[in-house]
Amino acid sequence: MLDHIRHSLDRIAAKDRTRVLRPAQMRDGGRLERDGRELLDFSSNDYLGLARHPLLAETAANYAHEFGAGSGASRLITGTSPQHEAVERHVAEFKGTETALLFASGWQANAAIIPALAKAAPSCAIFADELVHNSIHAGCRGARAETHFFAHNDMTDLERLLAEHGPGAEARLIITESVFSMDGDRADLARLNALAARYDALLYVDEAHATGVLGARGAGLTADHPGAQVVMGTFSKALGSFGAYVACSGLIRDYLVNMCAGLIFSTSPPPSVLGAMSAALELVPDMDAERAHLAALGDLMREGLAALGYDTLGSSTQIVPLVVGPERDALSLGAHLLDAGIAALPIRPPTVPKGTSRIRLALRATHSREDVERVLRAIETWERP
């Protein structure tokens, strides 16, 4: 077995795709410290700058001091506290749903919820956008259901698949992200809602990159386009801490409590995490100024990149992909930006499709217009290899 592991690593290295862990420390003002250098950080998902907000840190510390370091058990044993229930009520109010349920992480939530939903019916057909996150792909594989991937954001292709393959299944599940993590564009939720209703399908929306940033009060795009029966989101991006939620009806919550292995067999989130969640939910609805500033930075970055001749793949959010194409070009540009004191890391296959290697620029409300202009100046001086 060890020989096969070594050979696998050798094959990865031969393609120059070896992943490594590099310690970094987040700093204020959209900066981070790595290898003794302060870098302008355009790689993190801390979109509203809440990861270092004093209220989150203080509330997390207070919860740990009062309630302890750990939760002690899974939710169905002794791991459900009044604090878990309070955060879930707050999430449901924030998202405008009947109930909510907390999970350890967004990856775990998607990988666990999708198989649970699929096994509710004797036969289930899943229809997912081809660019959904790896965790959704894992959930679809775990579901062992008939799965069809429609062309990205192509509602005509989705309807064709629903018409061809939907009638043969006893249940249908449509899955999308509201904001796509690598392209920064948005799902057409209005048409997805209509198709789900027309074909009697359950609509599942991953709001990981929209929660806190988009929609009324930062409640995500489903707040502006209600209709999805299952809405997953995270606390680890714009909400600045850790963990995930699913916002849904009481019926679906009860079903997941009984049938979702990722919830049933996982230790529940600890008190300090619940404290940070609670603080973020207090802050986010009143951060319209930060959201407006973040949107303006996105527009500025896209306009600047367009002027330099770069494709940003229809991005309309705080995620701006700078597509260069070949992997070697993405690596070269990433190194060039790092030399200029900017952390904006290259994204390559298999994370993104072949031929679309890019620098994924993740904007934050703690960045300034001058920070964006600095990035654009650095990109302008890059010479392709």
Give me the active site residues, please: 45, 133, 177, 181, 206, 209, 237
Instruction: Sheet with 202-206: list strands edge to edge.
Output: 99-103, 244-248, 230-234, 202-206, 171-177, 124-129, 146-150
Q: Alpha-carbon Rg of the chain, whole angstroms?
A: 21
Cβ partners under 8 Å of residue 49, min gap 6: 30, 240, 290, 364, 365, 366
DSSP tag of 104: S
Distances (CA, A) of 307 to 274, 312, 320, 367, 376: 44, 11, 14, 21, 10
Distances (CA, A) of 345 to 140, 272, 293, 357: 28, 30, 23, 11
Nearest Cα to Cα of residue 104 among 287, 293, 234: 234
Phi, psi of 128 (to 5 degrees): -125, 145
Reported residue count of the chain is 385
DSSP 213-246: TSSGGG--HHHHS---SEEEEESSSTT-S--EEE
C-alpha 369: how far from chain center: 25
Residues 40/34, Cβ–Cβ less than 8 Å: no
